[in-house]
Every structure is written in C-alpha cells, then in structure tokens.
C-alpha cells in the first residue's frame, strides 16, 4: 500500500478526469480493464482517489497512464499530473512502500512448523496413493510387458510319451476372438502392421481376416478371451491374469495347440 498519503483529502482531479473521459467514450470499467489488463478494483480506486489502496506510487502512476491511453488521453501528461497531485513531483517514491515488517504480522514459528508438517503429510499421502494406483493392473501396461508365447512346442513332454493321442480337429473356419470381459488386445502381422488394437468390450468379437498371412496376438488378460477356429474352441492362450504376446493366430497353430492340450494327461482325482 502507498504510505504517507492518508492525509490527501483534496479533490481527485486525475481520477475525475479519467472517469469523465471514459464515460465520454461510452466505456465501462470492464472495458478499460480488458484493454489495459489492470484489475477493475485498481481502476475504481483511481477514479475515487483511493491512492492508499493502491501499490507504490510508481505502480499507481503506471496504472493511471495505461487508463489514460485507453480513454484517449495523454498518458505521460496524466502520469506527471498524478505525481504532482500526490506530492511526489518527478521524484520516484516507490521506496516509500517498502517498510520494515511488523513483528506482530509475522506468523509464529510454531505455525510455520505445523504448515511444513502438513505439507509433508500431503506429499507422502500423494505418493502412497500413486503407488497403489500404479499397482493396479492396467490392460495396456500389462500388454506392454507381454511374456513369451505359449506355443505347441511348450506342451509338456509327457504328451510325447502318450501311446495314442486323439486325432486333431480339422483346421477349418475363421479364427474368432470373443471377449468374456473387457480386454485389451492387439492383432498384427509379423511385419508389424496392425490389424486391430483396442479394448474389446465384453461380448464383442473380432474375426481375424482370412487374408492375414502370419497374424499374432498380444493380450492383457488371456483368461478374458475366448478363441475359436470355426466350431472348435481353443484352450486358454495363457495363465489367468498374465499378459501374453506374439501368440500365433494361424488356424493350424491354434488347432495344434488344442491337440497338445488334449494330449496332456490330467491329474488323477484324489481318492475318496
């Protein structure tokens, strides 16, 4: 605030002159504030001559000059007139606004410590919350950390020792992916061209184009995805809750996977 001007109770020629010029141009204080970017409250203080409610005289003069230019007056002339009105002449009295701090206005040390502790608690809570949020499974993040595909070559070796494996079903019909639940997936060619990449909503399906040469699948949750080749249901493509990547979607490979899974001995039921 401008100190030392509380005793200025004389008429306010500068403020009155600016107000009259503004009204003559049909401008409101809002209009002047928009043109000058000076807050309306400062413009109102200028018009009313409430100079002790404004910053240092240097800023007050600057505001008055901007106001004057906006309403078609000579800014330099109005600035000089205001300095004379406030008794500052041509002298820069900005230093008058910088007075030693009143100890009674300085926050006590205890309050500062409490504020610092609260800030630390808030920051700590934010990082805990962020850690918990990042800890939740996100389909796209899961898909980015895909694991090694589970192909027919990964079938248990015990299948090789089986005396008679069941006949493989015919690899006929389209390859269709159906979402049991919302699941992020990406189907692309071996050269990287993308055939589909999005979250497949529950109940929605995607049919691999018959023209695809070497389609591969990445999925965030294989347990949320049903795969069929024609009328043949293919076993789950990976462990529940773990992302998979680069799984072949060729009908022959999927049928081979189904055959390998069917040839795997099932664990014996516990005796009753």
Residue-level pLDDT at 134: 59
Mark whether 91 and 176 lie in a shared domain. Answer: no
Q: What is the DSSP string of 37-59?
A: ---HHHHHHHHHT-GGGSS-HHH
CATH of the domain at 75: 1.10.260.40
> What whole-number distance in Å separates Cα of residue 250 and Cα of residue 229?
9
257: number of Cβ within 10 Å? 23
Range(s) of the domain holding residue 220: 169-263
Residue-level pLDDT at 176: 93
Mark whether 90 and 173 lie in a shared domain. Answer: no
In a domain, 1, yes or no: no
Average confidence (pLDDT) over 122-135: 79
Q: How many domains does the chain have?
A: 2
Cβ contact 215:118 at 8 Å? no
Above 90 in pLDDT, residue 69?
yes
In a domain, 141, yes or no: no
Mean pLDDT taken over the chain: 77
pLDDT tens column, 108-128: 678 889 999 999 999 988 888
In a domain, 197, yes or no: yes
Considering 35, 70, 97, which residue would you say is the last residue of a domain? Answer: 97
Above 60 in pLDDT, residue 89?
no
> What whole-number distance in Å separates Cα of residue 226 and Cα of residue 261?
15
> What whole-number distance in Å separates Cα of residue 155 and Cα of residue 90?
94
Mark whether 174 and 90 lie in a shared domain. Answer: no
In a domain, 46, yes or no: yes
Please tell me the pTM assigned to this model.
0.36
Considering 48, 77, 97, which residue would you say is the last residue of a domain? Answer: 97
Average confidence (pLDDT) over 191-215: 91
Above 70 in pLDDT, residue 16?
yes
Residue whose C-alpha is closest to residue 219's, from 251, 252, 181 = 181
In a domain, 80, yes or no: yes
Contacts of 23 (CB under 8 A, 6+ apart): none
Of 158-167, 218-227, 257-266, which has the strongest mean pLDDT?
A: 218-227
Considering 80, 97, 114, which residue would you say is the last residue of a domain? Answer: 97
Buried b (16+ CB within 10 A) or exposed e, 158-192: ebeeeeeeeeebebeeebebbbeeebbbbbbeeee
Residue whose C-alpha is closest to residue 65's, from 81, 50, 54 = 81
Average confidence (pLDDT) over 243-249: 88
CA 189 to centroid of chain Cα atoms: 32
Q: What is the DSSP string of 186-212?
A: EEE-TTS-EEEEEEE-TT-EEEPPTT-
Residue whose C-alpha is closest to residue 197's, from 211, 180, 183, 181 = 183
User: What tokens does 227 get?
Assistant: 């795969």
Residue-level pLDDT at 92: 40
Confidence of residue 95 (pLDDT cuts 50, 70, 90): very low
Beta-bridge partner residues of 177: 206, 227
The single-letter DSSP state of residue 86 is T
Mark whether 93 and 173 lie in a shared domain. Answer: no
Residue-level pLDDT at 33: 93
Cβ contact 212:249 at 8 Å? yes
């Amino acid at each position: 605030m401008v100190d030392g001007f509380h005793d200025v109770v004389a008429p306010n020629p500068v403020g009155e002159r600016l107000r009259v010029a503004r009204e003559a141009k049909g401008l409101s204080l809002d209009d002047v504030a928009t043109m000058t970017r000076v807050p309306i409250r400062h413009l109102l203080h200028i018009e009313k001559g409430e100079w002790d409610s404004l910053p240092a005289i240097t800023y007050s003069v600057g505001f008055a000059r901007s106001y004057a230019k906006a309403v078609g007056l000579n800014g330099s002339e109005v600035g000089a007139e205001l300095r004379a009105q406030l008794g500052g002449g041509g002298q820069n009295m900005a230093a008058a606004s910088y007075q030693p701090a009143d100890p009674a206005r300085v926050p006590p040390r205890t309050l500062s410590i409490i504020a610092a502790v609260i800030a630390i608690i808030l920051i700590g809570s934010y990082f805990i919350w962020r850690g918990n949020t990042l800890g939740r499974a996100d389909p796209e993040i899961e898909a980015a950390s895909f694991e090694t595909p589970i192909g027919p070559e990964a079938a248990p070796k015990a299948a090789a020792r089986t005396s008679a494996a069941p006949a493989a079903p015919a690899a006929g019909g389209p390859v269709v992916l159906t979402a049991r639940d919302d699941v992020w997936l990406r189907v692309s060619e071996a050269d990287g061209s993308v055939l589909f990449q999005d979250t497949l909503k529950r109940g929605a399906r995607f049919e691999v184009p018959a023209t695809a040469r070497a389609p591969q699948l990445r999925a965030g949750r294989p347990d949320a995805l049903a795969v069929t080749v024609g009328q043949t249901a293919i076993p789950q493509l990976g462990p529940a809750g773990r992302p998979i990547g680069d799984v072949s979607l060729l009908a022959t490979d999927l049928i081979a996977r189904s055959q390998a899974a069917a040839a795997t001995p099932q664990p014996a039921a516990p005796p009753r």
